[in-house]
């Protein structure tokens, strides 16, 4: 499965079967999460691996009572070491880069899970205080996301993506002047170009013909 295939296949899965996840696969997910880009390569993300059912139950409750999480065999709590981010980049590090670094790591994890045939869901609705207490997370570390993992039975559908709705050209709000080039329909563009060229050629050759005809007419007068 290449990256585009993984991106297309990834869907949020919220119901898991009882099959447990092989450790090598969890290790690969964590490894790839840790290869995500981070500002200045500070790698301020931290991952807490949770496999204990009782703890998973507590977390599901603290995730605004999203009890479907209880069906998952594995959770990864993605945290950011805010102190580390701030020590490198001040408030921008703490308030922006820490979040972005953790988000990039989360997405790497989701795509790796998909590639491994494992269902996943990015959970962002949670009570930080409760989970921090439960997992003994220190005050300078903030939970950024919870990755829910497990095998599943029901195949999720594919998602379509309509770039015309969210991509602008040159300035905000400016829709694409030429979507063919963006969607790589180069052949359509070449066709259009050749048609225009031919139109231009026909125009000038007609003009030239008229000019010569007029010259001839004037000469014969």
Question: What is the 8-class DSSP label of residue 139?
Answer: T
Q: How many CB atoms lie within 10 A of CB 178?
A: 12
What is the separation of C-alpha 67 from the centre of its chain, rounded to a whole number of angstroms?
Answer: 26
Q: Which of 15, 17, 125, 128 binds ligand FMN (CB under 6 A)?
A: 125
| Residue 96 beta carbon to ligand FMN: minimum distance, rounded to whole angstroms | 15
Considering the complex, state which of residue 66 and residue 112 has its C-beta at the smaller distance from ligand FMN: 66
What is the separation of C-alpha 104 from the centre of its chain, rounded to a whole number of angstroms?
Answer: 8
Residue 177 CB contacts under 8 Å (≥ 6 apart), including other chains: 169
Binding of residue 66 to ligand FMN (CB under 6 A)? yes
Considering the complex, state which of residue 12 and residue 95 has its C-beta at the smaller distance from ligand FMN: 12
Q: Which of 28, 30, 83, 122 binds ligand FMN (CB under 6 A)?
A: 122
Binding of residue 70 to ligand FMN (CB under 6 A)? no
Burial class of residue 60 in the structure, from the number of CB atoms within 10 Å of its CB (0-12 exposed, 13-18 middle, 19+ buried): buried
Q: Do 141 and 82 contact (CB within 8 A), yes or no? A: yes
Q: How many CB atoms lie within 10 A of CB 34?
A: 15
Q: Which stretch binds ligand FMN (CB under 6 A): 36-44, 86-94, 122-130, 174-182?
A: 122-130
Q: Which of 11, 25, 130, 188 binds ligand FMN (CB under 6 A)?
A: 11
Total residues contacting ligand FMN by CB under 6 A comes to: 10
Binding of residue 12 to ligand FMN (CB under 6 A)? yes
* Rounded distance between C-alpha atoms, residue 92 and residue 86, angstroms: 7
Binding of residue 121 to ligand FMN (CB under 6 A)? yes
| Residue 106 beta carbon to ligand FMN: minimum distance, rounded to whole angstroms | 8
Residue 19 CB contacts under 8 Å (≥ 6 apart), including other chains: 73, 150, 151
Q: Which stretch binds ligand FMN (CB under 6 A): 10-18, 87-95, 187-195, 207-215?
A: 10-18
Binding site for ligand FMN (CB under 6 A): 11-12, 14, 66, 121-125, 159
């Amino acid at each position: 499965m290449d990256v585009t295939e993984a991106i297309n296949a990834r869907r949020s899965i919220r119901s898991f079967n009882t099959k447990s996840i092989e450790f090598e696969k969890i290790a690969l997910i964590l490894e790839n999460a840790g290869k995500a880009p981070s500002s200045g390569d500070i790698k301020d993300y931290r991952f807490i691996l949770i496999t204990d059912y009782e703890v998973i139950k507590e977390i599901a409750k603290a995730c605004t009572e999203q009890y479907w999480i209880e069906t998952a065999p594995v959770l990864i709590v993605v945290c950011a070491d805010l102190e580390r981010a701030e020590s490198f980049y001040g408030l921008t590090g703490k308030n922006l880069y820490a979040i972005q670094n953790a988000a990039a790591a989360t997405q790497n994890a989701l795509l790796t899970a998909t590639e491994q045939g494992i269902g996943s869901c990015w959970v962002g609705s949670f009570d930080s205080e409760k989970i921090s207490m439960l997992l003994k997370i220190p005050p300078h570390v903030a939970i950024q996301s919870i990755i829910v993992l497990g095998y599943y039975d029901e195949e999720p559908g594919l998602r379509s993506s309509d770039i015309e709705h969210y991509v602008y050209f040159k300035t905000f709000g400016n829709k694409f002047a030429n979507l063919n080039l963006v969607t790589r329909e180069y052949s359509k563009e070449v066709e259009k170009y050749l048609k225009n060229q031919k139109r231009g050629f026909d125009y000038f050759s007609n003009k030239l013909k008229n000019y010569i005809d007029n010259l001839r007419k004037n000469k014969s007068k």
